[in-house]
Chain A
Amino acid sequence: MRTILKVDSLVKKFGGLTAVSNVSLQLKEDELVALIGPNGAGKTTVFNLLTGVISQTSGTIRFREKEDLISLNNKKAYQIASLGCARTFQNIRLFKNMTVLDNVLVAMTNQYKEGFLKSIFRFPSFYRTEDEILKKARDLLAIFDLDKDMYKLASNLPYGIQRRLEIVRGLAMQPKILFLDEPAAGMNPEETADLTRLIRKIQKQFHITVLLIEHDMSLVMNLAERIYVLDQGKMLAEGTPSEIQQNKAVIKAYLGEEG
Chain B
Amino acid sequence: MNVLKANFKYNLCWFIIMITGFYLMNTLIMVGMIDSFIENMLVTIWINIILAVGLNLIIGFAGQFSLGHAGFMAIGAYTTAIITQKTVSIGGFYVSFIVGMIIAVVAALIVGIPTLRLRGDYLAIATMGAAEIIRIIINNMKITNGPAGMFNIPQFATWPIVYVIMCITTIITVNFINSRGGRVIKSVREDEIAAEAMGINTTKWKLAAFVLGAVTAAIAGSLHASYLQTIAPNDFGIMESISILIIVVLGGVGSVTGTFLAAVVLGILDTVLQDFGTLRMVIYAAALVLLMVFKPSGLLGTWEFSIRRLFNHIKRRSV
> A residues within 8 Å of B by Cβ?
51, 53, 76-79, 81-82, 86-87, 89, 93-98, 102-103, 105-107, 109-110, 112, 114, 116, 119-122, 124, 126-128, 130-131, 169, 173
The reply on B7 being an interface residue by CB < 8 A is yes
CB contacts (< 8 Å) of B11 on chain A: these are 122
Contacts of A76 in B (CB 8 A): 196, 201
Distance A147 CA – B175 CA, assembled complex (angstroms): 25
B190 close to chain A: CB less than 8 A: yes
Q: How far is the CB of B3 from chain A (nearest CB, A)?
A: 5
Is B180 in the interface zone, CB < 8 Å from A? yes
Given A78-B202, A95-B187; 14 other pairs, CB 8 A cutoff: A53-B197, A77-B193, A78-B201, A87-B197, A93-B191, A97-B190, A102-B183, A106-B195, A109-B199, A114-B180, A119-B175, A120-B172, A120-B176, A173-B199
- Distance from B14 Cβ to chain A, minimum over Cβ atoms (Å): 11
Is the CB of B250 closer than 8 A to any CB of chain A?
no
Once bound together, how far apart are the Cα atoms of A112 and B197, in whole Å? 17
Closest to A105 in B: B183
**Number of B interface residues in the complex (CB < 8 A):** 28
Question: Closest residue of chain B to A112, judged by CB?
Answer: B180
Q: Does B4 contact A (CB under 8 A)?
A: yes
Interchain CB contact under 8 A, A119 and B186: no
Let me know if B194 and A102 touch, CB within 8 A: no
Residues of B near A109 (CB, < 8 A) are: 180, 183-184, 198-200
What secondary structure prevails in chain B residues at the interface with A? helix
Indicate if the CB atoms of B175 and A106 lie closer than 8 Å: no
Going nearest first, the 4 A-B pairs with the smallest beta carbon separation are: A119-B179, A95-B190, A81-B199, A82-B199
Cβ contact within 8 Å between A86 and B175:
no
Q: Given A119-B175, A127-B3 in contact, is the A93-B193 Cβ separation under 8 Å?
A: yes
B296 beta carbon closer than 8 Å to chain A: no
Cα–Cα, bound, A200→B48 (Å): 55
Residues on B close to A: CB < 8 A? 3-4, 7, 11, 171-172, 175-176, 179-181, 183-184, 186-187, 190-191, 193-202, 302
Q: Which residues of B contact A124 (CB under 8 A)?
A: 4
Q: A106 and B3: CB pair below 8 A? A: no
B181: min CB distance to chain A, Å: 6
Query: How far apart are the CA atoms of A82 and B171 in the complex, in Å?
Result: 31
Are A86's CB and B197's CB within 8 A?
yes
Q: What are 30 A-B interface contacts by the 8 Å CB criterion?
A: A51-B197, A76-B196, A78-B201, A78-B202, A81-B197, A81-B200, A87-B197, A89-B197, A93-B193, A94-B190, A94-B194, A95-B187, A98-B186, A98-B190, A106-B195, A106-B200, A109-B180, A109-B184, A109-B198, A114-B181, A119-B175, A119-B176, A119-B179, A120-B171, A122-B175, A124-B4, A127-B4, A127-B7, A169-B198, A173-B198
CA distance A121 to B200 in the complex (A): 24
With the chains together, A76 CA to B4 CA distance in Å?
39
Q: Which residues of B contact A86 (CB under 8 A)?
A: 197
Q: Which one of B7, B196, B199, B201 has the highest number of Cβ atoms from chain A below 10 Å of its Cβ?
A: B199
Please give the distance in Å from B255's CB to the nearest CB on chain A: 12
The chain A residue with its CB closest to the CB of B176 is A120
Bound-complex Cα distance A96 to B197 (A):
15
In the complex the two chains form, what is the Cα distance from A76 to B191 in whole Å?
A: 17
Q: How far is the CA of A95 from the CA of B181 in the complex (A)?
A: 15
Which residues of chain A are near B199, meaning CB under 8 Å? 78-79, 81-82, 109-110, 173
Set A95, A107, A114: member contacting B191, Cβ < 8 A: A95
B-side contacts of A114, CB under 8 Å:
179-181
Taking the nearest CB of chain B, how far is it from the CB of A151, in angstroms?
11
Measured between C-beta atoms, what is the minimum distance from B201 to chain A in Å? 5
Known: A95-B186, A127-B4, A128-B3. A77 touches B197 (CB 8 A): yes
Q: What CA separation (Å) do A188 and B172 show in the bound complex? A: 48
Which residues of the partner chain A approach B186 to less than 8 Å between Cβ atoms? 95, 97-98, 102, 106
Contacts of A81 in B (CB 8 A): 196-200
- Taking the closest CB of chain B, its distance from the CB of A168, in whole angstroms, is 13
| A residues less than 8 Å from B202 (CB atoms) | 78
Please give, as numbers and ranges, the residues of chain A lying within 8 Å of B184 by CB-CB distance: 106, 109
In the complex, chain A residues whose CB is within 8 Å of the CB of B175: 119-122
Given contacts A78-B196, A86-B197, A106-B198, contact A96 B180 (CB under 8 A): no
CA distance A228 to B199 in the complex (A): 27
Task: Please give the distance in Å from B60's CB to the nearest CB on chain A.
Answer: 11
CA gap between A122 and B181 in the complex, in Å: 13
- A136 and B21 CA atoms in complex are apart in Å by 39
Q: Which residues of A contact B172 (CB under 8 A)?
A: 120
**In the complex, A112 Cα to B179 Cα: how many Å?**
12
